[in-house]
Amino acid sequence: MSWKFFSEALFQKAPHALLVHLLIVFVTVSLAIVISVPLGVLLTRRNYQRFGIVALNILNILQAVPGMAVLALALPLFGLGLKPAIIALLVQSLLPIVRNTIAGLLGVNNDVKEAASGMGMSARQILLEVELPLAMPIIISGIKTTTVYVVSVGTLASLIGAGGLGYLIMGGLALFRFEYLIVGAGLGALLSIFFDWALSYLEARITPPGIQVE
């Protein structure tokens, strides 16, 4: 171990790698939320419910594909760089959120929905004021799963030239420069644990107080 390489990795290479990694995570997760939550909502509406099983099955199969393979396949399809990496990561980011959105919405007590509709709340009001708030903890939990996944598989994004913390790790492995490797791997682990913790906290915070009491 040499302090010179260590500090070089930590202070010169890591900040940029970390920023790129965060960029990948934020863009992918945001896109995943924007696509998955409405999709989950749609698949629980009466007219579209029958597509739910089909959609979940497709996403389930996609989920079994190893992340490395998905990233690898993005290269011939979309080329090198950040965009292909994000598209590849997005493919597998959808399922946890879609699944949890559906589970959360279906989990809302029917009596509550019935009462809300009986009071004259419109379908839209029931969705926004009753169903989504009650399903939110479960949706957040899905977002957490996705985020941790993206941080983790995101380290492989450097394979197709997207940079990020994986770049430090790969470089370290290729050059036998363990200092790089430790910095990259350590930051990756910390980042992932941080997101897990932060989103768990959000999940607990956002759980409506009336439900926590139980």
Partner 1 sequence: MQFVNQNSTTIVEYTQNHFELVLTAVLISLLLWVPSGILLTKSDKWARRALAIANIIFCIPSLSLFAVFVTIPFLGLGRQSALLALVLYAMMPLMRNVYDGVKNVDRNVLEAAKGMGMSTGRIMREIRLPLGMPVIFAGFRITVVMTTGIAAIATYIGERNLGRFISEGLVRSNTNMIITGAILISVIAVGLDTFLGLVEKRVVPRGLRVRR
Partner 2 sequence: MIELKGVTKLYQGQAVPAVQNLSLSINRGEICVFVGPSGCGKSTTLRMINRMIEPSSGTIEIDGKNIMSSDPDSLRMGIGYVIQQIGLLPHRTIAENIAIVPRLYKWPKEKIKSRVNELLEMMGLDPAETRNKYPSQLSGGQMQRVGVARAMAVDPSIMLMDEPFGAVDPVARNRLQDEFLRLQKEINKTIVFVTHDINEAIKMGDKIAILNQGQLIQFGTPEEILTDPANDFVENFIGYDRIVKKLNLYTVAEAMKTSFGLVDEAEFSGINAKIPNAEVIFVRDQGEQLVGYLTAEDLSAQGAQRLTQVARQKRLSFVKLNTPLPDALSLMLENDADYVAVLDGDRLCGAI
Q: DSSP per residue over 136-170, as a string? A: HHHHHHHHHHHHHHHHHHHTTGGGGT--SHHHHHH
By CB under 8 A, residue 153 contacts partner 2: no
Rounded Cα distance, 209 and 189, in Å: 32
Residue type, 211: I
> Nearer Cβ to partner 1, position 38 or 66?
66
**Cα 47 from chain centroid (whole Å):** 28
Residues whose CB falls within 8 Å of the CB of residue 127, separated by 6 or more in sequence, listed in order? 41
| Best CA proximity match to 90, nearest among 45, 135, 44, 24 | 24
Q: Residues 193 to 212: which contact partner 2 by CB under 8 A?
A: 208-211
To which residue do tokens 């396949």 refer?
73
By CB under 8 A, residue 189 contacts partner 1: yes
Q: Which of partner 2, partner 1, none does residue 166 bind (CB under 5 to 8 Å by kind)? A: partner 1
By CB under 8 A, residue 115 contacts partner 2: yes
Q: Residues 33 to 62: which contact partner 1 by CB under 8 A?
A: 56, 60-61
Q: Residues 134 to 163: which contact partner 1 by CB under 8 A?
A: 148, 151-156, 159-160
SS3 193: helix
Q: Which of partner 1, partner 2, none does residue 165 bind (CB under 5 to 8 Å by kind)? A: partner 1
Residue type, 58: I
Rounded Cα distance, 112 and 175, in Å: 61
By CB under 8 A, residue 109 contacts partner 2: yes
By CB under 8 A, residue 64 contacts partner 1: yes
* Cβ 178 to partner 1 shortest distance, Å: 5
Would you tell me which residues interact with partner 1 (CB under 8 A)?
56, 60-61, 64-70, 72-73, 75-76, 148, 151-156, 159-160, 165-166, 169-170, 172-173, 178, 181-182, 184-186, 188-189, 192-193, 195-196
Would you tell me which residues interact with partner 2 (CB under 8 A)?
109, 111-122, 125, 129-130, 133-134, 208-211, 213-214
